[in-house]
Amino acid sequence: MGFVKEFREFATKGNVLDLAVGVIIGAAFGKIVSSFVSDIMMPPLGILLGKVSFADMFLVLSGGGPFRTIVEAKAAGAVTLNYGAFISNIIDFILVALCIFILIKQANKLKKSAEAPAAPETAKECPECLSKIPKAARKCAFCASQQQA
């Protein structure tokens, strides 16, 4: 089988297409969560922590004196350690992981409820010959031994 033909078969399998759709939806979902964290969660949290903007939490490692924002520091050519952005990214990750966990947990619960319960056992084993016989049988069809009711 040629390389191109194998690749075509691989690329057209349902799992690959499902994965591609999942990655695209996941990227869009990540943007929504990032916006939620930076635009909805961080401002009130910053107010609670003393009117601090997480986006402006940084340390100047080299390149000058006091800067009020990262933009000022970058414009002056300073090297900064942007720990506020790092905190925001950690919160983004935790929220995305939590949402995915909840989604998978619900999907597994739906999957379990959709599965049919196991059919009741309709056969039993003959104690004499160990053959499978109907549960209601009074005599084994294979060895003719009497069965208990």
Between CA 88 and CA 27 the distance in angstroms is 17
The pLDDT of residue 116 is 63
State the pairing for strand pair 132-134/59-62.
Answer: unpaired
Global pTM?
Answer: 0.55
The pair of three-digit structure tokens given for residue 70, joined into one six-digit string: 């990262």
CATH fold of 3-115: 1.10.1200
Between CA 23 and CA 130 the distance in angstroms is 53
Q: Where are the domains of the chain?
A: 3-115, 121-149
**SS3 of the chain: helix, strand, coil, percent, to 5:** 60, 10, 30
**Tokens 């340390």 belong to which residue?**
59
Q: Per-residue pLDDT tens, the chain, 149 aa: give them.
A: 688 888 887 777 767 777 888 889 888 888 888 888 778 887 887 788 777 777 778 899 988 778 888 888 889 989 999 998 888 888 878 887 888 888 889 988 888 877 767 667 888 899 888 899 988 888 888 888 888 86
The pLDDT of residue 1 is 67
The pLDDT of residue 31 is 86
The pLDDT of residue 81 is 92
